[in-house]
């Protein structure tokens, strides 16, 4: 009988009642799957006459070039992660090719064309996690590691932080210094970090029995200074305005300080503000910014090292690394 090339890995996973990642590991002969599960999946593949796509030769194991997908270059956080990636790559004799992905690269063909036309050893993804089908396709064709962002439903190697816990840490601090009306400047919810930090924000308020006013929350489409100021100005102009703002980036937090100054609201006397990242900007603003420090450079450095490990040993098990964050208290929050 002719093998069926139209059956997809998603259909195999659904019929076997396992994740797509499990099927992918079996196809890649990884030893992290239980024997009984492996036998069940292989049996279903045979039953459906599934013909997996052959691993592509688009990935060149002899290449010394890594493709890094970055959402944009406006966010200072991205620059610090890129520094870490380039340091690890250089230490190991690799070069880094940067791709500003934005919303331009969303289909597998977009990336496959890049792989076809460039000699690449592997791929680092800093932009928002691709859908599972695209991530599966890329992972099958070349080594892939995610940094900061990662898929919540598909198992690939990544280096990140616990954004939920970090956000709770920030909001709990605001609560500890007497703030009771805490607003939130967040980014686009397509990003994992935005979803997780909002979850942490909500959990902290719920656990403290505090009001969660939708009017005090903004979702800003991109890292844009003017847009962030406009959103902050709107929230701070409300008759029932918050007495604190938690911001998912230092960029947003500095924008909030600017908006407060324009409205005659004193920071931190009338409004406490916490940012996220601890980039240089957090020390350059007035007052200096209380912020969550995440190890931006180390995220990039360790993600690149994981990728190089996968390039040199394709069958190494996927690893998920969570790095530590710290609250850095400065003058933008009241004592």
Residue 184 within a domain: yes
- Provide the percentage of residues in the chain whose pLDDT is more than 70: 92
Residue with tokens 């957090």: 282
User: By the 8 A CB rule, do 23 and 16 touch?
Assistant: yes
State whether 230 and 267 are in the same domain: yes
Q: Say what the alpha-carbon torsion angle 110, 307, 67, 118 is, to the nearest 10 degrees.
A: -80
Residue 302: give its domain's CATH number.
3.40.50.2300
State whether 23 and 137 are in the same domain: no
State whether 171 and 254 are in the same domain: yes
Burial 18-47 (b: 16+ CB within 10 A, else e): bebbbbbbbbeebeebeeebbebbeebbee
Residue 200 within a domain: yes
Mean pLDDT of 223-243: 95
Of 134-138, 154-158, 237-241, which gets the smallest average pLDDT?
134-138
Residue 58 within a domain: no
Residue 262 within a domain: yes
- Strands 244-247 and 182-187, how do they pair? parallel
| Among 293, 276, 279, CA closest to 198 | 276
pLDDT in tens, 168-201: 999 999 999 999 999 999 999 989 999 999 999 9
CA distance 333 to 200: 19
State whether 69 and 145 are in the same domain: yes
Q: What angle do CA 285, 256, 220 make, to 5 degrees?
A: 125
State whether 169 and 276 are in the same domain: yes
State whether 287 and 196 are in the same domain: yes
pLDDT in tens, 272-327: 999 999 999 999 999 999 999 999 999 999 999 999 999 999 888 889 999 999 99
CA distance 172 to 164: 12
CA distances from residue 48 to 5, 12, 13, 45, 124 in whole angstroms, order as listed: 10, 8, 12, 5, 34
State whether 184 and 245 are in the same domain: yes
Q: Which pLDDT belongs to residue 280?
A: 94
Q: Which pLDDT belongs to residue 33?
A: 78
Residue 60 within a domain: no
Residue 246 within a domain: yes
- Helix intervals (H) in 160-242: 163-176, 192-208, 225-236
In the predicted structure, residue 75 carries a pLDDT above the cut 90 = no
Model confidence pTM above 0.95: no
If pLDDT is split at 50, 70 and 90, which confidence band does 145 have?
Answer: very high
SS3 call for 217: strand
State whether 197 and 213 are in the same domain: yes
CA distance 162 to 39: 35
State whether 311 and 207 are in the same domain: no
Residue 331 within a domain: no
If pLDDT is split at 50, 70 and 90, which confidence band does 3 have?
Answer: very low
pLDDT in tens, 314-332: 888 889 999 999 999 999 9
State whether 181 and 239 are in the same domain: yes
State whether 301 and 291 are in the same domain: no
Counting the structural domains of the chain, the total is 3
Cβ-based burial of 163 (10 A; exposed 0-12, middle 13-18, buried ≥19): buried
Residue 1 within a domain: no
Domain that holds residue 33: 9-47
- Provide the percentage of residues in the chain whose pLDDT is more than 90: 61
State whether 138 and 239 are in the same domain: no
Residue 23: give its domain's CATH number.
1.10.260.40
């Amino acid at each position: 009988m002719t093998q069926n090339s139209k059956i997809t890995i998603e259909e195999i996973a659904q019929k076997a009642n396992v994740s797509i990642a499990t099927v992918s590991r079996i196809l890649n002969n990884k030893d992290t799957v239980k024997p009984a599960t492996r036998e069940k999946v292989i049996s279903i593949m045979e039953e459906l006459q599934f013909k997996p796509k052959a691993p592509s030769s688009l990935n060149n194991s002899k290449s010394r070039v890594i493709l890094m997908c970055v959402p944009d270059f406006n966010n200072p956080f991205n620059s610090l992660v890129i520094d870490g990636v380039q340091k690890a790559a250089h230490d190991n004799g690799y070069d880094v090719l940067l791709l500003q992905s934005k919303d331009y690269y969303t289909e597998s063909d977009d990336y496959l064309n890049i792989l076809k036309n460039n000699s690449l050893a592997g791929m680092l993804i800093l932009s928002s996690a691709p859908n599972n089908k695209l991530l599966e396709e890329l992972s099958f064709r070349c080594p892939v590691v995610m940094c900061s962002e990662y898929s919540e439903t598909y198992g690939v190697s990544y280096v990140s932080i616990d954004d939920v816990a970090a956000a709770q840490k920030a909001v709990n601090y605001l609560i500890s210094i007497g703030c009771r009306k805490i607003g939130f400047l967040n980014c686009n919810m397509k990003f994992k970090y935005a979803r997780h930090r909002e979850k942490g924000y909500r959990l902290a308020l719920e656990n403290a029995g505090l009001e969660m006013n939708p009017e005090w929350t903004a979702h800003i489409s991109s890292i844009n200074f003017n847009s962030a100021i406009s959103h902050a100005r709107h929230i701070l102009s409300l008759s029932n305005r918050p007495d604190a703002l938690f911001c998912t980036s230092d960029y947003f937090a500095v924008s909030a300080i600017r908006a407060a100054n324009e409205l005659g609201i004193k920071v931190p006397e009338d409004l406490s503000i916490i940012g996220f990242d601890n980039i240089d900007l957090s020390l350059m603003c007035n007052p200096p910014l209380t912020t969550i420090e995440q190890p931006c450079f180390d995220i990039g450095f360790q993600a690149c090292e994981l990728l190089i490990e996968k390039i040199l040993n394709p069958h190494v098990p996927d690893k998920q690394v969570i790095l530590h964050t710290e609250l850095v208290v400065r003058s933008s929050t009241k004592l």
